[in-house]
């Protein structure tokens, strides 16, 4: 489904013009109809679903080439599902600026051709094309792959062990291949932007060989600490006898 956004903006312009003025960017091959107003500043846009890169801001300059008043309506055509676009100015007379904000709210990655339409009450309609690139979200699991050197217990009172952390089968999932030193592969899901803050890891109950394994904790990535990544979590598992064992692990990751 294509999302269409339309916002009105008042512009001063002249009557419909069919001139091929090369100085007017709206009278070139990127435009299906020469008009007597200008929309400058449009560029290709690239966004990503991560919190620090999901928004693009473009300042558009709308001006009048022949100094006659007319109302201009601006709209976007071709935005993918999961992506929004907004203009900052609903009305005005040239010259003025309008800030176009495009935000990725979990749109499918890809390159989308989008049109910025201008509709003049006197001069008619023009369309400018640009490419909107939706980049895949960062897989936060990548910050935690490698060798995990585990200290067990609040004060390291139990023997340490080594784990090998690999990428899971979904976004932001890691696999402990020696979970709690038990020689079993157990996955955990990371939630939160590990590039900028501590994030949570949830290790749901998983049954392996008739035993249950689960836990929860926090992660700190190398991007945030400017050093190595770290996972701190509490674990639980059932033994063959049916009783439950729990503990606390501080794990430093060497990539």
Specify whether 17 is located in the same domain as 130. Answer: yes
- What is the domain-level CATH number for residue 66? 2.60.40.10
Specify whether 111 is located in the same domain as 42. Answer: yes
pLDDT in tens, 219-250: 999 887 778 899 999 999 999 888 999 999 99
Specify whether 19 is located in the same domain as 109. Answer: yes
Specify whether 192 is located in the same domain as 245. Answer: yes
pLDDT in tens, 18-42: 333 444 555 544 445 567 888 999 9
DSSP 147: E
Specify whether 206 is located in the same domain as 131. Answer: no
Which residue among 79, 110, 135 closes a domain? 135
Specify whether 130 is located in the same domain as 58. Answer: yes
Which of 7-11, 59-63, 114-118, 225-229 shows the lowest per-residue confidence on average (mean pLDDT)?
7-11
Contacts for 171 with CB less than 8 Å, ≥ 6 apart: 137, 139, 140, 141
Specify whether 120 is located in the same domain as 33. Answer: yes
Joined together, the tokens standing for residue 143 give 């910050």
Specify whether 129 is located in the same domain as 204. Answer: no
The pLDDT of residue 118: 87
Residues forming a β-bridge with 79: 3
Specify whether 58 is located in the same domain as 117. Answer: yes
Which residue among 79, 114, 135 closes a domain? 135
- What is the domain-level CATH number for residue 247? 2.40.128
How far apart are alpha carbons 77 and 79 in whole angstroms? 6
Q: Structurally, how many domains does the chain consist of?
A: 2
When pLDDT is averaged across residues 56-76 and rounded to a whole number, the result is 86
Residues of the domain holding 248: 140-254
How far apart are alpha carbons 59 and 88 in whole angstroms? 9
225: left (phi over 0), alpha (psi -120 to 50) or beta: alpha
Which residue among 103, 135, 167 closes a domain? 135
Specify whether 89 is located in the same domain as 50. Answer: yes
pLDDT at 10 over 60: no
Joined together, the tokens standing for residue 27 give 């009278």
Specify whether 68 is located in the same domain as 192. Answer: no
The pLDDT of residue 19: 33
Specify whether 126 is located in the same domain as 146. Answer: no
User: Which residue's structure tokens are 């339309």?
Assistant: 6
Query: H or E segment at 223?
Result: helix 222-225
Is the full-model pTM beyond 0.75?
Answer: no
């Amino acid at each position: 489904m294509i999302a269409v956004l339309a916002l009105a903006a008042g512009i001063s312009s002249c009557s419909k013009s069919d001139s091929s003025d090369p100085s007017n960017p709206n009278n070139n091959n990127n435009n299906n109809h020469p008009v007597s107003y200008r929309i400058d500043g449009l560029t290709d846009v690239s966004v990503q679903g991560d919190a620090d890169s999901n928004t693009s801001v473009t300042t558009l300059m709308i001006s009048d080439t022949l100094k006659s008043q007319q109302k201009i309506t601006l709209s976007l055509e071709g935005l993918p599902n999961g992506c929004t676009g907004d203009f900052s100015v609903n009305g005005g007379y040239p010259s003025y600026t309008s800030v176009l904000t495009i935000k990725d709210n979990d749109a499918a990655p890809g390159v989308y051709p989008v049109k910025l339409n201008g509709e003049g009450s006197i001069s008619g309609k023009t369309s400018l094309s640009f490419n909107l690139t939706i980049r895949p979200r960062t897989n936060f699991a990548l910050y935690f792959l490698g060798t995990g050197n585990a200290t067990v217990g609040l004060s390291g009172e139990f023997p340490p062990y080594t784990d090998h952390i690999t990428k899971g089968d979904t976004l932001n999932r890691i696999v402990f291949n020696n979970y709690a030193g038990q020689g079993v592969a157990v996955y955990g899901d990371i939630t939160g932007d590990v590039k900028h803050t501590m994030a949570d890891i949830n290790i749901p109950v998983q049954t392996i060989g008739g035993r249950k394994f689960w836990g929860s904790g926090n992660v700190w990535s190398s991007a945030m600490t400017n050093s190595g990544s770290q996972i701190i979590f509490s674990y639980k598992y059932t033994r063959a006898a049916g009783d439950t064992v729990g503990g606390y692990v501080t794990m430093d990751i060497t990539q």
